[in-house]
Structure 1
């Protein structure tokens, strides 16, 4: 009996001093494609130790002053539609991957969505009606598939600035049909001005913060680069009592990848795998251990894993690059 008691005490003490690591949202941004997915497309998500995937159906708009959003049509790729999003989620569920539904707008020629601005009241009202149709379509879907998270918009600062009351009312409409957690994907230089965080569950940030001007920033350079940004994120989180969620994060595998991480400029052609590794590792080490930080979604993760990325690729995806192992290791630690 005494031996059993001593064993119980030793076991209890051992557990009490063991380091506690809070589980995080270890996400991938699962890019919409032409085709349906199956287990072979989901297996690499599991293998990188992700526990979440962002599913991103798309709406399309002609230009920054056009008020009508085209969405869920037979002219879109399968993965960009409601049926495609539902099929992707069904396959991800089979592998126990949680889901954030993140409908996004694409402006023709890739113009920045944060600058969508109407020139008259009639067009503003048309845009509001169109956006409501778009976002409620996918809030309804998110409820039906029991998505854990729903993102109400991505990088729409001007729209929000000019029509704050609309957004407040939109959030109420979404909550009337969707019962999961809500966030918004604010651009890295927008989130401090977003007016409705108190109505949402997470402070969502697309984390393309500049961290180094160097051609190949070292890990230490990138850690230092975060010292001006991290306190602002922490302060906002603590002030609002809501966790920060990186709705997107990532770096291209190119020279100067930490200087302006949001750039997708195709003239940047010099591959630099080390720059991507150092910047990614620094971001993960800076945030994943913080109790006010919820996690994040790497940008981007393509469904055809064996055919994308690689050592000659300059774009964001970490697939089949050294950065993939960096992400996998951290995700395994915080599952």
Structure 2
């Protein structure tokens, strides 16, 4: 009788497209370093029950109006290059961690990539050519290592808004090289206007949404603050029939961390671990049980776990802070 029930349930799920949610993407944004990684560096990722890692090779631009992207050079840190990204991915995959290759751009002096905007058609064309060379290099790597997903760009709002046709052509070129799942990491205030979600597999969002103006927000306050943002994301997911993934999520361990989570200001140095814990709990409670939500990648995780983060650290990493236990528990359950 049990066997008959099993066959019936199996048949029903196949024919009726059961909505039982597969495990979430419980990811870390694995920061590039100067050196190759070993099992010693990967073990802490496994220990928090992460099942995914974003590997982030980098390209560099001198300023917001410069079209040339410099990448994969000997002057870069090992983890920022193709060889380094491959080595990191292989070590993580060896311990069962799935991979998203997520190439990113760094503008000198840390200027926001969303403001990259050319002033002439000639420069736009040069940027397109340079970006294609950069991104297709890593699409090729993603295919070579059989990465489960590939992110085609991160927080490039002006580039996307001004050159939408280029991006659709780029996606077509990527698909000829890479056969896995595709996303784009739209900034939290950009994703509603991103024009090519139909061409991708996930709606990717760097989820630095404002959720509370309190110095030490409570979980309840943050859950209330998420409601409007969450409704917009759900509507967009329904519109495109695509799941949402948080290509980045996280908070600094500071006062008012839920007010402007994207803000990186060295003057914000007063450590507030409770604020970080509460905002993170609320994010998990708000999203991790939703069928339309695929999961996300915590920002950010350093290779040398023993000396990273800590209770006196005000930055984004959750390592060696109370919030690491929160992440571990939610990842274990999902």
TM range (shorter): over 0.9
Report the count of equivalent residues: 326
Q: Pairwise CA RMSD of aligned residues?
A: 1.8
Query: Post-superposition, which runs of at least 4 consecutive aligned residues in structure 1 deviate over 3 A?
Result: 7-12
Unaligned runs of 5+ in 1: 13-19
Cα deviation 1:212-238 (Å, max 9, x = unaligned)? 000000111111110111000000001
Matched, 1:270 2:243: no
Matched, 1:258 2:258: yes
For residue 28 of structure 1, report the CA deviation from its aligned partner: 0.1
Q: Distance in 2 between matches of 1:324 and 1:11?
A: 39
Counterpart in 2 of 1:60? Answer: 60
Q: Distance in 2 between matches of 1:9 and 1:310?
A: 54
Counterpart in 2 of 1:37? Answer: 37
Cα deviation 1:208-261 (Å, max 9, x = unaligned)? 000000000011111111011100000000111000000000000000000000
Cα deviation 1:3-45 (Å, max 9, x = unaligned)? xx5x779999xxxxxxx66310000000000000000000000
Cα deviation 1:180-219 (Å, max 9, x = unaligned)? 0000000000000000000000000000000000000011
Q: Distance in 2 between matches of 1:78 and 1:10?
A: 54
Q: Distance in 1 between matches of 2:265 and 2:308?
A: 18
Cα deviation 1:47-89 (Å, max 9, x = unaligned)? 0100000000000000000000000000000000000000001
Q: Distance in 1 between matches of 2:21 and 2:223?
A: 21
Matched, 1:216 2:219: no
After superposition, where does 1:194-213 map in structure 2 within 5 Å? 194-213=194-213
Counterpart in 1 of 2:283? Answer: 283
| 8 Å CA contact retained: 1:22, 1:291 | no
Counterpart in 2 of 1:141? Answer: 141
Instruction: Look up the SS of the partner of 2:166 in the other structure.
Output: helix
Unaligned runs of 5+ in 2: 8-19
Q: Distance in 1 between matches of 2:297 and 2:3?
A: 41
Q: Distance in 2 between matches of 1:172 and 1:94?
A: 31
Counterpart in 1 of 2:112? Answer: 112
Instruction: Look up the SS of the partner of 1:167 in the other structure.
Output: helix
